């Protein structure tokens, strides 16, 4: 049982490049979300989804796109990378409803550096 | 506008003593309050939660207290063990928008 799988683990981009951070879960969870972790800022919600075909913005959505075509996958796209997007990114999934707020399962993170 | 604040970035506690981590929130409409624990190079893991209709929830060595009038949440760990050394995040959840919002984290170090 893999849980939540994020790829890649590390990535270095140049300013202006685009890329997609992959996230897949094998627990049939409806709820998925993306966070970024920055020193002194904690975990900030970027985008989230309560089911296939449904996405919504979090606290810091600018510069990022998401889509949810299947229950399992929730990719995060950086359209034109900026140094301010240097961060550690975490994907998470959970059971919708009462479980949406509880027992989110997190991936191990993607460390992204934008030069 | 920070909805969830953890004012202590770090805390050191002697092994065997009680660790108390604190969290303040601004919105009285949150439905669930949670604590997550994070080790380096790993994703956060769920630790314990409490519904807004309760004021205490206990799970083994971990107890969460909710003071709604003060908009204050605390996590008590007793007795503290070396494996408890980690970053602890409090989080709040709203059923209406289904958002889970985290605080800035407190790094707990247990001194053997």
Residue B27's pLDDT is 83
Q: Grade residue A103 by pLDDT with cuts at 50, 70 and 90.
A: confident
Q: Which of A73-82, A96-105, B68-77 has the lowest mean pLDDT?
A: A96-105
Question: Is 80 exceeded by the pLDDT of residue B36?
Answer: yes
pLDDT at B33 exceeding the cut of 60: yes
Position A61 pLDDT exceeds 70: yes
pLDDT above 70 coverage of chain B, percent: 99
Backbone angles phi, psi at A47, to 5 degrees: -145, 160
- Rounded to a whole number of angstroms, the distance from the CA of A105 to the nearest CA of chain B is 7
Query: What mean pLDDT comes out for the span B18-42?
Result: 93
**Quick one: average pLDDT of A20-49?**
94
- Chain A / chain B CB contacts < 8 angstroms: 67
Q: Is the pLDDT at B1 greater than 70, yes or no? A: no
A100 to B100: CB separation less than 8 angstroms, yes or no: yes
Q: Which of A42, A49, A58, A92 to mutate to test the interface with B (most CBs of B within 10 A)?
A: A42
- Provide the sign of the torsion angle of the four alpha carbons A85, A64, A62, B91, taken in this order: negative
- Give the C-alpha separation, A1 to B43, whole Å: 16
Nearest CB neighbour to B105, from listed A42, A58, A108: A42
């Amino acid at each position: 049982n893999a849980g939540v799988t994020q790829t890649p683990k590390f990535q270095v981009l140049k300013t202006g490049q685009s890329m997609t951070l992959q996230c897949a879960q094998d627990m049939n969870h409806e709820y998925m979300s993306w966070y970024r972790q920055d020193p002194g800022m904690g975990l900030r919600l970027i985008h989230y989804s309560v089911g296939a075909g449904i996405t919504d913005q979090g606290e810091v959505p600018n510069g990022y796109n998401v889509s949810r075509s299947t229950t399992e996958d929730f990719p995060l796209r950086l359209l034109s990378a900026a140094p301010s997007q240097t961060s550690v990114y975490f994907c998470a999934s959970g059971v919708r409803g009462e479980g949406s707020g509880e027992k989110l399962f997190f991936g191990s993170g993607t460390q992204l550096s934008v030069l | 506008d920070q909805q969830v604040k953890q004012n202590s970035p770090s805390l050191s506690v002697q092994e065997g003593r009680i660790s108390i981590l604190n969290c303040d929130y601004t919105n009285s409409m949150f439905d669930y309050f949670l604590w997550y624990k994070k080790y380096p190079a790993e994703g956060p893991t769920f630790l314990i939660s409490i519904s807004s209709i309760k004021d205490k929830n206990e799970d083994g060595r971990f107890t969460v207290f909710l003071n709604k009038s003060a908009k204050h949440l605390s996590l008590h760990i007793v007795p503290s063990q070396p494996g408890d050394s980690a970053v602890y995040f409090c989080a709040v959840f709203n059923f209406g928008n289904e958002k889970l919002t985290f605080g800035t984290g407190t790094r707990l170090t247990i001194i053997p």
